[in-house]
Amino acid sequence: MDCIFCKIAAGEIAAKTVAETAKTIAFWDISPQQPVHVLLVPKIHYENIAELSTGSPEHLVDLMQLGTKVAEELSTGSFRFTFNTGVEAGQSVFHVHGHITSTTPKA
C-alpha cells in the first residue's frame, strides 16, 4: 500500500517527530496552519477515526493520551484536537490522524 503516513510511522520517510509510543507517532505538520500543529498517527493503517474506533480502540486511546500530553507540553493548555473525516470535511490523507492545533504556544 502506498501510504505516506505508514511510511512515516515505519521511519521510511523523515518527519519532525515530537513524541512516540509503541502504538502512536506524533510529528509536526509539514504545512502548519497554527503556531502549534502536530499530527497524531497510529502505527496501524485505518482510513479514518470511525474505522479505528471499532477496529482498534486500544490504538485510539493511546493516540488520544499521547495527543493530549503533547498538546499540554506545547501549548498553554488551549488547543484543538480534530479528525477530518471524508473528502468533504477536508481529509486529504487517508490514514487516520488527529490534528493538535493551538494559537497559544508555550513560550
Positions touching Zn ion (CB under 5 A) are 3, 5-6, 45, 95
By CB under 6 A, is residue 35 in contact with ligand 5GP?
no
Q: For ligand 5GP, give the closer residue by CB, 11 or 90.
A: 90
In angstroms, the CA 29 to CA 67 distance is 14
Q: For ligand 5GP, give the closer residue by CB, 61 or 93.
A: 93
What's the burial of 4, exposed, middle or buried (CB within 10 Å: 0-12/13-18/19+)? middle
Q: Is 37 a catalytic residue?
A: no
**With CB cut-offs between 5 and 8 Å by kind, which of ligand 5GP, Zn ion, none does residue 45 bind?**
Zn ion
First to last CA, the chain: 40
